[in-house]
Amino acid sequence: MIAIILGTRPEIIKMSPVIRECEKRGLDYFVLHTGQHYSYEMDRIFFEELELPQPKYNLDVGSGTHAEQTGKIMVGVEKILMQEKPKVILVQGDTNTVLAGALAATKLHIKVGHVEAGLRSYDKRMPEEINRVLTDHISDLLFAPTEVAKENLLEEGINEDKIFVTGNTIVDAVHQNLEIAKRKVNVLKELDLKPKEYFLITTHRQENVDVRERLRGIIKGLEMIYNEFAIPIIFPIHPRTQKRIKEFEFDLSGIKLINPLGFLEFLQLEANARLVLTDSGGVQEETCILGVHCVTLRDNTERPETLEAGSNVLAGTKPERILERAKIMLNRKNNWKNPFGDGKAGERIVKIVEEI
Protein backbone atom coordinates (compact mmCIF):
# COMPACT_ATOMS: atom_id res chain seq x y z
CA MET A 1 0.00 0.00 0.00
CA ILE A 2 1.11 3.55 -0.83
CA ALA A 3 0.19 6.59 1.28
CA ILE A 4 0.27 9.94 -0.55
CA ILE A 5 0.56 12.75 2.00
CA LEU A 6 -0.11 16.35 0.95
CA GLY A 7 -1.34 19.54 2.54
CA THR A 8 -1.20 22.52 0.17
CA ARG A 9 -2.58 23.25 -3.27
CA PRO A 10 0.84 23.24 -4.97
CA GLU A 11 1.35 19.73 -3.57
CA ILE A 12 -2.03 18.61 -4.91
CA ILE A 13 -1.11 19.99 -8.34
CA LYS A 14 2.32 18.33 -8.44
CA MET A 15 1.01 15.04 -7.04
CA SER A 16 -1.96 14.95 -9.44
CA PRO A 17 0.01 12.95 -12.08
CA VAL A 18 1.12 10.46 -9.40
CA ILE A 19 -2.47 10.03 -8.15
CA ARG A 20 -3.73 9.57 -11.72
CA GLU A 21 -1.03 6.96 -12.39
CA CYS A 22 -1.96 5.03 -9.21
CA GLU A 23 -5.58 5.08 -10.37
CA LYS A 24 -4.62 3.97 -13.88
CA ARG A 25 -2.60 1.03 -12.52
CA GLY A 26 -5.29 0.06 -9.99
CA LEU A 27 -2.83 0.25 -7.09
CA ASP A 28 -3.67 0.01 -3.40
CA TYR A 29 -3.13 3.60 -2.24
CA PHE A 30 -4.78 6.39 -0.28
CA VAL A 31 -4.43 10.17 -0.02
CA LEU A 32 -4.03 11.91 3.33
CA HIS A 33 -4.69 15.66 3.28
CA THR A 34 -3.26 17.57 6.27
CA GLY A 35 -5.11 20.83 5.54
CA GLN A 36 -1.95 22.90 6.06
CA HIS A 37 -3.09 25.92 4.03
CA TYR A 38 -6.84 25.53 3.70
CA SER A 39 -9.58 23.51 5.28
CA TYR A 40 -10.33 20.24 3.58
CA GLU A 41 -13.80 21.55 2.71
CA MET A 42 -12.23 24.39 0.68
CA ASP A 43 -9.92 21.95 -1.06
CA ARG A 44 -12.71 19.48 -1.84
CA ILE A 45 -13.66 21.72 -4.79
CA PHE A 46 -10.01 21.81 -5.86
CA PHE A 47 -9.90 18.00 -6.13
CA GLU A 48 -13.15 18.07 -8.11
CA GLU A 49 -11.80 20.80 -10.41
CA LEU A 50 -8.72 18.68 -11.22
CA GLU A 51 -10.89 15.56 -11.57
CA LEU A 52 -9.03 13.74 -8.78
CA PRO A 53 -10.51 11.28 -6.25
CA GLN A 54 -11.19 12.78 -2.83
CA PRO A 55 -8.67 12.09 -0.01
CA LYS A 56 -9.46 9.21 2.32
CA TYR A 57 -8.27 11.21 5.36
CA ASN A 58 -8.09 14.87 6.29
CA LEU A 59 -6.46 16.41 9.36
CA ASP A 60 -7.57 20.06 9.00
CA VAL A 61 -4.56 21.25 11.01
CA GLY A 62 -4.89 24.85 9.81
CA SER A 63 -2.39 27.61 10.42
CA GLY A 64 -0.01 28.16 13.35
CA THR A 65 3.68 28.62 14.02
CA HIS A 66 6.02 26.28 12.15
CA ALA A 67 6.51 24.19 15.29
CA GLU A 68 2.79 24.01 16.10
CA GLN A 69 1.83 23.09 12.57
CA THR A 70 4.60 20.52 12.11
CA GLY A 71 3.81 18.94 15.48
CA LYS A 72 0.06 18.70 14.79
CA ILE A 73 0.72 17.11 11.40
CA MET A 74 3.14 14.55 12.86
CA VAL A 75 0.63 13.48 15.53
CA GLY A 76 -2.21 13.15 13.01
CA VAL A 77 -0.12 11.39 10.36
CA GLU A 78 1.36 8.93 12.85
CA LYS A 79 -2.09 7.72 13.99
CA ILE A 80 -3.21 7.06 10.42
CA LEU A 81 0.04 5.34 9.42
CA MET A 82 -0.16 3.06 12.46
CA GLN A 83 -3.72 2.19 11.47
CA GLU A 84 -3.17 1.71 7.71
CA LYS A 85 0.40 0.30 7.80
CA PRO A 86 1.45 1.37 4.27
CA LYS A 87 4.75 0.07 2.83
CA VAL A 88 5.76 3.51 1.58
CA ILE A 89 4.66 7.14 1.84
CA LEU A 90 5.12 9.76 -0.88
CA VAL A 91 5.57 13.44 -0.06
CA GLN A 92 6.26 16.28 -2.48
CA GLY A 93 8.32 19.44 -2.18
CA ASP A 94 9.25 21.47 0.86
CA THR A 95 6.29 22.27 3.12
CA ASN A 96 5.77 21.54 6.81
CA THR A 97 3.52 18.66 5.67
CA VAL A 98 6.47 17.12 3.81
CA LEU A 99 8.83 17.23 6.78
CA ALA A 100 6.21 16.13 9.32
CA GLY A 101 5.00 13.26 7.12
CA ALA A 102 8.55 12.06 6.45
CA LEU A 103 9.51 12.21 10.13
CA ALA A 104 6.38 10.34 11.29
CA ALA A 105 6.89 7.59 8.66
CA THR A 106 10.64 7.22 9.31
CA LYS A 107 10.10 6.71 13.04
CA LEU A 108 7.57 3.97 12.21
CA HIS A 109 10.12 2.33 9.83
CA ILE A 110 7.94 3.05 6.80
CA LYS A 111 9.82 3.90 3.60
CA VAL A 112 9.70 7.54 2.50
CA GLY A 113 9.69 8.64 -1.14
CA HIS A 114 10.45 12.35 -1.67
CA VAL A 115 9.09 13.71 -4.94
CA GLU A 116 11.09 16.76 -6.15
CA ALA A 117 14.14 15.91 -4.06
CA GLY A 118 17.44 17.77 -4.29
CA LEU A 119 16.28 21.35 -4.82
CA ARG A 120 18.47 23.89 -3.04
CA SER A 121 18.40 27.67 -2.63
CA TYR A 122 21.18 27.56 0.02
CA ASP A 123 19.19 30.20 1.95
CA LYS A 124 18.50 28.94 5.48
CA ARG A 125 16.25 31.94 6.15
CA MET A 126 13.63 30.15 4.07
CA PRO A 127 11.69 27.53 6.07
CA GLU A 128 11.22 25.62 2.82
CA GLU A 129 14.97 25.11 2.49
CA ILE A 130 15.17 23.56 5.96
CA ASN A 131 12.20 21.29 5.21
CA ARG A 132 13.58 20.02 1.90
CA VAL A 133 17.11 19.37 3.19
CA LEU A 134 15.94 17.45 6.27
CA THR A 135 13.41 15.44 4.24
CA ASP A 136 16.03 14.45 1.68
CA HIS A 137 18.32 13.13 4.40
CA ILE A 138 15.69 10.84 5.95
CA SER A 139 14.13 9.61 2.71
CA ASP A 140 14.66 6.15 1.20
CA LEU A 141 13.70 7.06 -2.38
CA LEU A 142 14.71 10.46 -3.74
CA PHE A 143 12.94 11.41 -6.96
CA ALA A 144 15.17 14.17 -8.33
CA PRO A 145 13.55 16.24 -11.10
CA THR A 146 16.84 17.04 -12.88
CA GLU A 147 20.52 16.10 -13.01
CA VAL A 148 21.29 19.35 -11.13
CA ALA A 149 19.08 18.18 -8.25
CA LYS A 150 20.81 14.78 -8.28
CA GLU A 151 24.24 16.46 -8.05
CA ASN A 152 23.06 18.48 -5.05
CA LEU A 153 22.11 15.25 -3.27
CA LEU A 154 25.37 13.50 -4.13
CA GLU A 155 27.39 16.47 -2.84
CA GLU A 156 25.61 16.09 0.51
CA GLY A 157 26.70 12.46 0.76
CA ILE A 158 23.39 10.79 -0.11
CA ASN A 159 23.79 7.29 -1.55
CA GLU A 160 23.38 7.27 -5.33
CA ASP A 161 21.35 4.04 -5.14
CA LYS A 162 18.54 6.00 -3.48
CA ILE A 163 18.39 8.69 -6.18
CA PHE A 164 16.24 8.48 -9.33
CA VAL A 165 16.12 11.26 -11.95
CA THR A 166 12.49 11.19 -13.06
CA GLY A 167 11.78 14.62 -14.50
CA ASN A 168 9.46 16.98 -12.66
CA THR A 169 5.78 16.09 -12.18
CA ILE A 170 4.93 19.74 -12.86
CA VAL A 171 5.46 19.05 -16.59
CA ASP A 172 2.89 16.25 -16.48
CA ALA A 173 0.57 18.40 -14.34
CA VAL A 174 0.77 21.47 -16.61
CA HIS A 175 -0.09 19.50 -19.75
CA GLN A 176 -2.77 17.33 -18.12
CA ASN A 177 -4.44 20.20 -16.26
CA LEU A 178 -4.25 22.64 -19.19
CA GLU A 179 -6.37 20.17 -21.17
CA ILE A 180 -8.92 20.14 -18.34
CA ALA A 181 -8.83 23.97 -18.23
CA LYS A 182 -9.65 24.21 -21.94
CA ARG A 183 -12.83 22.23 -21.28
CA LYS A 184 -13.89 24.00 -18.10
CA VAL A 185 -12.84 27.67 -17.93
CA ASN A 186 -12.35 30.84 -19.98
CA VAL A 187 -10.74 33.32 -17.58
CA LEU A 188 -9.53 35.73 -20.29
CA LYS A 189 -13.11 36.33 -21.39
CA GLU A 190 -14.22 36.82 -17.78
CA LEU A 191 -11.50 39.42 -17.14
CA ASP A 192 -11.81 41.02 -20.60
CA LEU A 193 -8.18 40.29 -21.49
CA LYS A 194 -6.45 39.42 -24.75
CA PRO A 195 -3.61 36.88 -25.03
CA LYS A 196 -0.12 38.40 -24.60
CA GLU A 197 -1.59 41.83 -23.75
CA TYR A 198 -1.22 41.75 -19.95
CA PHE A 199 1.36 41.05 -17.25
CA LEU A 200 0.67 38.67 -14.35
CA ILE A 201 2.04 39.08 -10.81
CA THR A 202 2.04 36.76 -7.80
CA THR A 203 3.79 37.31 -4.47
CA HIS A 204 3.18 35.51 -1.20
CA ARG A 205 6.49 34.47 0.43
CA GLN A 206 6.90 35.72 3.98
CA GLU A 207 10.44 36.99 3.35
CA ASN A 208 8.91 39.39 0.78
CA VAL A 209 5.43 40.33 1.98
CA ASP A 210 6.16 40.48 5.72
CA VAL A 211 9.08 42.90 5.23
CA ARG A 212 7.84 46.45 4.61
CA GLU A 213 10.78 47.58 2.45
CA ARG A 214 10.76 44.49 0.24
CA LEU A 215 7.01 44.67 -0.36
CA ARG A 216 7.26 48.42 -1.00
CA GLY A 217 10.01 47.73 -3.55
CA ILE A 218 7.87 45.16 -5.39
CA ILE A 219 4.86 47.50 -5.57
CA LYS A 220 7.00 50.45 -6.73
CA GLY A 221 8.61 48.20 -9.36
CA LEU A 222 5.18 47.20 -10.68
CA GLU A 223 4.13 50.85 -10.87
CA MET A 224 7.28 51.64 -12.87
CA ILE A 225 6.51 48.75 -15.25
CA TYR A 226 2.94 50.02 -15.73
CA ASN A 227 4.18 53.57 -16.43
CA GLU A 228 6.68 52.17 -18.97
CA PHE A 229 4.39 49.77 -20.87
CA ALA A 230 0.81 50.88 -20.04
CA ILE A 231 -0.70 47.41 -20.32
CA PRO A 232 -2.78 45.75 -17.58
CA ILE A 233 -0.98 44.19 -14.61
CA ILE A 234 -3.20 41.46 -13.16
CA PHE A 235 -2.58 40.59 -9.50
CA PRO A 236 -4.52 37.63 -8.01
CA ILE A 237 -3.76 38.66 -4.45
CA HIS A 238 -2.88 36.17 -1.73
CA PRO A 239 -4.71 36.85 1.59
CA ARG A 240 -1.37 37.24 3.40
CA THR A 241 -0.19 39.86 0.86
CA GLN A 242 -3.49 41.74 0.98
CA LYS A 243 -3.30 41.88 4.77
CA ARG A 244 0.23 43.33 4.69
CA ILE A 245 -0.58 45.92 1.99
CA LYS A 246 -3.44 47.18 4.16
CA GLU A 247 -1.30 47.05 7.32
CA PHE A 248 1.58 48.97 5.68
CA GLU A 249 -0.90 51.44 4.09
CA PHE A 250 0.49 51.03 0.56
CA ASP A 251 -1.31 52.44 -2.49
CA LEU A 252 -1.38 50.39 -5.68
CA SER A 253 -1.39 52.42 -8.87
CA GLY A 254 -1.95 50.79 -12.27
CA ILE A 255 -2.34 47.29 -10.79
CA LYS A 256 -5.61 45.37 -11.11
CA LEU A 257 -6.22 43.35 -7.95
CA ILE A 258 -8.41 40.28 -8.33
CA ASN A 259 -9.43 37.55 -5.89
CA PRO A 260 -7.30 34.39 -5.76
CA LEU A 261 -8.08 32.11 -8.70
CA GLY A 262 -8.66 28.40 -8.97
CA PHE A 263 -5.68 26.53 -10.40
CA LEU A 264 -7.28 25.99 -13.81
CA GLU A 265 -8.05 29.70 -14.19
CA PHE A 266 -4.58 30.66 -13.01
CA LEU A 267 -2.90 28.18 -15.36
CA GLN A 268 -4.86 29.60 -18.28
CA LEU A 269 -3.98 33.18 -17.25
CA GLU A 270 -0.33 32.19 -16.88
CA ALA A 271 -0.19 30.46 -20.30
CA ASN A 272 -1.46 33.59 -22.07
CA ALA A 273 0.51 36.28 -20.18
CA ARG A 274 3.12 38.41 -21.92
CA LEU A 275 5.28 38.33 -18.78
CA VAL A 276 4.93 36.84 -15.29
CA LEU A 277 6.51 38.35 -12.17
CA THR A 278 6.54 36.04 -9.15
CA ASP A 279 8.24 34.82 -5.98
CA SER A 280 6.76 31.33 -6.38
CA GLY A 281 9.01 28.38 -7.17
CA GLY A 282 6.21 26.49 -8.92
CA VAL A 283 5.35 29.45 -11.15
CA GLN A 284 9.01 29.69 -12.25
CA GLU A 285 8.72 26.08 -13.46
CA GLU A 286 5.28 26.47 -15.03
CA THR A 287 6.25 29.55 -17.06
CA CYS A 288 9.38 27.75 -18.29
CA ILE A 289 7.25 24.81 -19.47
CA LEU A 290 4.62 27.10 -21.04
CA GLY A 291 7.15 29.25 -22.94
CA VAL A 292 6.24 32.39 -20.95
CA HIS A 293 8.91 34.87 -19.79
CA CYS A 294 9.38 35.12 -16.02
CA VAL A 295 10.94 37.64 -13.62
CA THR A 296 11.52 36.24 -10.12
CA LEU A 297 11.13 38.69 -7.25
CA ARG A 298 13.76 37.00 -5.10
CA ASP A 299 17.52 37.15 -4.59
CA ASN A 300 17.98 33.41 -5.18
CA THR A 301 16.12 30.41 -6.56
CA GLU A 302 16.06 26.67 -6.03
CA ARG A 303 15.13 26.38 -9.73
CA PRO A 304 18.49 27.36 -11.33
CA GLU A 305 17.53 25.34 -14.41
CA THR A 306 15.09 28.13 -15.37
CA LEU A 307 17.93 30.68 -15.27
CA GLU A 308 20.17 28.43 -17.37
CA ALA A 309 17.37 27.78 -19.88
CA GLY A 310 16.80 31.53 -20.25
CA SER A 311 13.11 31.53 -19.28
CA ASN A 312 13.68 33.35 -15.99
CA VAL A 313 15.81 36.08 -14.35
CA LEU A 314 16.28 37.07 -10.72
CA ALA A 315 15.31 40.65 -9.90
CA GLY A 316 15.14 40.83 -6.10
CA THR A 317 12.82 43.55 -4.81
CA LYS A 318 14.54 46.83 -5.78
CA PRO A 319 12.15 48.77 -8.10
CA GLU A 320 14.72 49.85 -10.70
CA ARG A 321 16.08 46.32 -10.99
CA ILE A 322 12.57 44.87 -11.40
CA LEU A 323 11.91 47.24 -14.31
CA GLU A 324 15.33 46.55 -15.86
CA ARG A 325 14.84 42.78 -15.66
CA ALA A 326 11.33 43.03 -17.10
CA LYS A 327 12.73 44.90 -20.12
CA ILE A 328 15.43 42.24 -20.60
CA MET A 329 12.87 39.42 -20.61
CA LEU A 330 10.46 41.21 -22.94
CA ASN A 331 13.27 41.47 -25.51
CA ARG A 332 14.23 37.80 -25.18
CA LYS A 333 12.94 35.05 -27.48
CA ASN A 334 11.01 32.19 -25.89
CA ASN A 335 12.77 29.40 -27.78
CA TRP A 336 14.38 27.80 -24.73
CA LYS A 337 14.34 24.05 -24.12
CA ASN A 338 12.25 22.86 -21.17
CA PRO A 339 14.75 21.33 -18.67
CA PHE A 340 12.16 19.58 -16.48
CA GLY A 341 11.49 16.44 -18.48
CA ASP A 342 9.11 14.87 -20.95
CA GLY A 343 5.87 14.80 -18.94
CA LYS A 344 6.21 11.18 -17.79
CA ALA A 345 7.58 11.77 -14.27
CA GLY A 346 4.44 10.53 -12.52
CA GLU A 347 4.56 7.30 -14.49
CA ARG A 348 8.26 6.77 -13.66
CA ILE A 349 7.80 7.48 -9.94
CA VAL A 350 4.90 5.07 -9.52
CA LYS A 351 6.72 2.38 -11.53
CA ILE A 352 9.82 2.67 -9.28
CA VAL A 353 7.71 2.53 -6.11
CA GLU A 354 5.79 -0.46 -7.44
CA GLU A 355 8.99 -2.33 -8.34
CA ILE A 356 10.66 -1.63 -4.99
* 38, pLDDT greater than 80: no
- 174 belongs to a structural domain: no
* 37, pLDDT greater than 80: no
Query: Could you write out the three-class secondary structure of 303-332?
Result: CHHHHHHCCEEECCCCHHHHHHHHHHHHCC
Answer yes or no: do 275 and 347 share one domain: no
Answer yes or no: do 158 and 232 share one domain: no
What is the predicted pLDDT for the residue at 39? 66
Domain containing 301 equals: 186-330
Mean pLDDT of 161-178: 96
Answer yes or no: do 345 and 325 share one domain: no
User: Measured between alpha carbons, how far is residue 277 from residues 7, 199, 330 in Å?
Assistant: 25, 8, 12
What confidence tier does 240 reach under pLDDT thresholds 50, 70, 90?
A: confident
Answer yes or no: do 39 and 117 share one domain: yes
Mean pLDDT of 178-192: 94
The radius of gyration of the chain's CA atoms, rounded to the nearest angstrom, is: 20
- 176 belongs to a structural domain: no
Mean pLDDT of 49-60: 94
Give the pTM.
Answer: 0.85
188-198 pLDDT per residue, tens: 999 999 999 99
Q: Which residues are catalytic?
A: 204
Answer yes or no: do 93 and 221 share one domain: no
Residue 33's domain is classified under what CATH number?
3.40.50.2000
Answer yes or no: do 74 and 41 share one domain: yes
Mean pLDDT of 17-27: 98
- 298 belongs to a structural domain: yes
Mean pLDDT of 122-151: 95
* 292, pLDDT greater than 90: yes
Answer yes or no: do 241 and 132 share one domain: no
Mean pLDDT of 254-268: 90
Q: Minimum mean pLDDT among 49-63, 120-134, 246-260, 333-347: which range?
A: 246-260
**Who wins on pLDDT, 309 or 249?**
309
* 90, pLDDT greater than 90: yes
Answer yes or no: do 230 and 99 share one domain: no
- 287 belongs to a structural domain: yes
* Cα–Cα distance, 126 to 132 (Å, whole number): 10
> For the chain, what is the domain count?
2
* 181, pLDDT greater than 80: yes
What confidence tier does 267 reach under pLDDT thresholds 50, 70, 90?
A: very high
Average model confidence (pLDDT) for the chain?
94
What confidence tier does 243 reach under pLDDT thresholds 50, 70, 90?
A: confident
Answer yes or no: do 158 and 196 share one domain: no
Percent of the chain with pLDDT over 90: 80
Answer yes or no: do 238 and 89 share one domain: no
What is the predicted pLDDT for the residue at 40? 65
343: left (phi over 0), alpha (psi -120 to 50) or beta: left
